Amino acid sequence: MPAPSNAKMNVSGVSKTFRTRRGDVAALARCDLAIGKGEFVTVVGPSGCGKSTLMMIAAGLEPPTTGDILVDGRPAGPPGPQRSVVFQRFALFPSETVTQNIEFGLRVAGLDRAERASRVDEQLELMGLVQFRHAYPHELSGGMQQRVAIARALVVRPEILLMDEPFGALDAQTRTVLQEEVSRLRRVMNYTVMFITHSVEEAVYLGDRVVVMTSRPGRIKKEIAIPRDAAWRGLEIAEASNYADFIAYKRDIWNLVRAELVRA
Amino acid sequence: MSVPGERLDWRAIGTASQPVAWGAAALGVLLGAWLLATTVTGIVPRNVLPSPVELIARFATLVVEPFSGSTLEGHALASLTRWVIGVGAAIGLGVPIGIVLAWLPPCRAAFTPIFEVLRYIPPFAWVPIAVLWLGASTTTQALIVFIAAFPVCVINTQLGVAHVDRILLFAAQSLGSGPLRMLARVVLPVAAPFVFTGVRIAFSNGWMALVGAELVVGKQGLGFLISQGQANDSVATILVGMVTIGVIGSIIDVVLQRMQRRLLPWQPASAHSGTGRR
């Protein structure tokens, strides 16, 4: 698939080989992926297929063995708020309150106090965290912690938001609520997102495009565009699951993933 | 550290549910038995174990009358000074070294073998050489405290820093943070409970070593007071010295525990009692 001309981020020929004591292990084999501005791309694949490795490389937190990450056509360079990350395990700073966690990137950027306060307030409002602003992470539920992590990643106004199985550690009910929340946010704010998941339903529900990866070493197997104006967009997951096209996407993508599970 | 009540519900046993009440009761029983053995029945002769009353009298005397050069407070103050200097130096040097060792694997690889050998030389084994180098001075005593307190500062700091989840560093990096900010805002706060536990153990190790060193060298201090009590055949003096040593040590530990709770409010309650190693 040719890169769209308005690509915000390009994953270009990226591969990754880990050196271990028992020899080299290929985690990723030549991945090419273009994410357009304002596009929500979900990446789905069997566990261990290297999709988290792909995310770490995209974030600049791990060097690729070959290939490049480009943002606006230029090498992305070291990690930074231009590509902020939401991790599966929340990764909140335990010694800082909700407000301080969200403020972290703004302090790094050297914004003045008034600007920081207004941006943090905006996020607290947006993510429904106002009443928890002075709480410490250990006092919050997993769902609330992940809201804080999302707010912390969004408040720096990243060019692209990278999410690594952000709801994987949450219980089913909380996960559903947050999926719907992210879907709502994205419709309002139009972020550019790369979202890693192992849930096919989540990938279809949130994505403008679903990227299916092969089993290890991970390659991009297929990309499926999901229309932005599908009738079920904006509905809750339970309702969306009644639509024939939603069901068909889920089934087709699930079949692609299952073929990889069998192969692995 | 064990937690009483973990397996057994103490409240089910009697009305006294507070740990303080249990502590006071045990102390009362001990005092009663002591009184019974000395003053009441006289089974234990006075020159072996004086009664609690005599001990209190001896305590009062030592507070006002100098014994072997100083009053009890004078001896205690001398010990405290050496203690604080020695432990202060151990923290001041040990914590930064612990950070460096955890942060830079080559340094750790280079330093660890030397450190492991030095660590197994007991603090008292340094007394002879310390006396030859520095004479029977406050510095000598403080050096012994330092030697007893330093390793645990290094080890606990190193453990604390190594305990920091890499994902927190990734999160900080992806928000644009450089290494210094990461150290100050992520690594040190997360390592702080371990460091603090190390500091508490450093105080206790230093105190033990100091009293031991004072027994053999010096002209002042609580250890010296005890050894002079022995020289004067005064069991009461020895006991007053010992109890003072125990009380001061435990007061400092309680103060440090309170400080830890005050300074690290973000920890879950369970994390306060037993992090780190001894």
| pLDDT tens figures, A54-67 | 999 999 999 999 99
Question: CA gyration radius for chain B?
Answer: 23
Query: Could you tell me the strand order of the sheet in which A7-20 lies?
Result: A23-36, A7-20, A66-71, A74-75
Comparing CA positions, the residue from A1, A77, A90 lying closest to residue A41 is A1
Contacting residues of B for A60, CB less than 8 Å apart: 174
B40 pLDDT more than 90: no
Please report, rounded to a whole number, the percentage of residues in chain A having pLDDT higher than 90. 67
CA distance A10 to A65: 16
Q: What is the 3-state secondary structure (H, E, C) of chain A?
A: CCCCCCEEEEEEEEEEEEEECCEEEEEEEEEEEEEECCCEEEEECCCCCCHHHHHHHHCCCCCCCEEEEEECCEECCCCCCCEEEECCCCCCCCCCCHHHHHHHHHHHCCCCHHHHHHHHHHHHHHCCCHHHCCCCHHHCCHHHHHHHHHHHHHCCCCCEEEEECCCCCCCHHHHHHHHHHHHHHHHHHCCCEEEEECCHHHHHHHCCEEEEECCCCECEEEEEECCCCCCCCCCCHHHHCCCHHHHHHHHHHHHHHHHHHHHC
Comparing CA positions, the residue from A87, A253, B154 lying closest to residue A245 is A253
What per-residue confidence (pLDDT) applies to A50? Answer: 86
CA distance A14 to A32: 7
Q: Supply the mean pLDDT for chain A.
A: 90
Give all domains of chain A, ordered by start, each with its CATH number: 7-82+159-263 (3.40.50.300), 93-157 (no CATH)
Burial degree of A263 (CB within 10 A; 0-12, 13-18, 19+): exposed
B278 pLDDT more than 50: no
Q: Supply the mean pLDDT for chain B.
A: 87
Q: Which two tokens stand for residue B67?
A: 């014994």
What per-residue confidence (pLDDT) applies to B5? Answer: 41
A93–chain B Cβ distance below 8 A for any pair: yes
What is the average per-residue pLDDT within B175-188?
A: 92
pLDDT band at A132 (very low <50, low <70, confident <90, very high): very high
B173 vs A79, A96, A152: nearest CB: A79
pLDDT band at A264 (very low <50, low <70, confident <90, very high): low
Helices (H) and strands (E) in chain B, counts: 11, 0
B174 vs A85, A97, A137: nearest CB: A85
Residues found in chain A: 264
ipTM reported for the complex, 2 dp: 0.91
Q: Which two tokens stand for residue A187?
A: 């419709």
What per-residue confidence (pLDDT) applies to B6? Answer: 46
Q: How far is B271 from chain A (nearest CA, A)?
A: 11
What is the average per-residue pLDDT within A169-185?
A: 89
Q: How many CA atoms lie within 13 A of A229 on its CB side?
A: 0
A186 pLDDT more than 90: no
> Which pTM was predicted?
0.81
What per-residue confidence (pLDDT) applies to B79? Answer: 94
What per-residue confidence (pLDDT) applies to B275? Answer: 40
DSSP state of B124: G
B272 pLDDT more than 50: no
DSSP state of B104: -
CB spacing of B176 vs A61 below 8 angstroms: no
CB spacing of B266 vs A94 below 8 angstroms: yes
pLDDT band at B4 (very low <50, low <70, confident <90, very high): very low
A132–chain B Cβ distance below 8 A for any pair: no
Contact A7, A24 (CB under 8 A): no
Q: Are strands A40-44 and A193-197 parallel, antiparallel or unpaired?
A: parallel
What is the average per-residue pLDDT within B137-154?
A: 93
- Cβ neighbours for A249, distance < 8 A, ≥ 6 positions apart: A204, A210, A224, A226
CA distance B22 to B30: 12
Residues A22-42 pLDDT 10s:
888 888 989 999 999 999 999
Which residues are paired to A26 by β-bridges?
Answer: A17
Question: CA gyration radius for chain A?
Answer: 18
CB spacing of B175 vs A156 below 8 angstroms: yes
- How many angstroms separate the Cα of A115 from the Cα of each of A85, A109, A125? 22, 11, 16
Q: Which two tokens stand for residue B240?
A: 């007053």
Residues B78-122 pLDDT 10s:
999 999 999 999 999 999 999 999 988 898 889 888 888 888 899
Please report, rounded to a whole number, the percentage of residues in chain A having pLDDT higher than 70. 97
**Pick among A100, A104, A139, A160 to test the B interface (most B CBs inside 10 A):** A104
What is the average per-residue pLDDT within B238-267?
A: 90
Q: Which two tokens stand for residue B275?
A: 């992090």
Q: Is the dihedral of CA A20, A24, A27, A30 positive or negative?
A: positive
Q: Is the dihedral of CA B248, B253, B259, B262 positive or negative?
A: negative
CB spacing of B185 vs A104 below 8 angstroms: yes
Q: Which two tokens stand for residue A189?
A: 């704010």
CA distance B132 to B140: 9
CB spacing of B174 vs A136 below 8 angstroms: no
CA distance B43 to A176: 77
SS3 of B67, please? strand
What is the average per-residue pLDDT within A77-99?
A: 93
Cis peptide before A217 (omega within 30 of 0): yes
Question: Which secondary-structure segment (H or E) carries B43?
Answer: none
A2 pLDDT more than 80: no
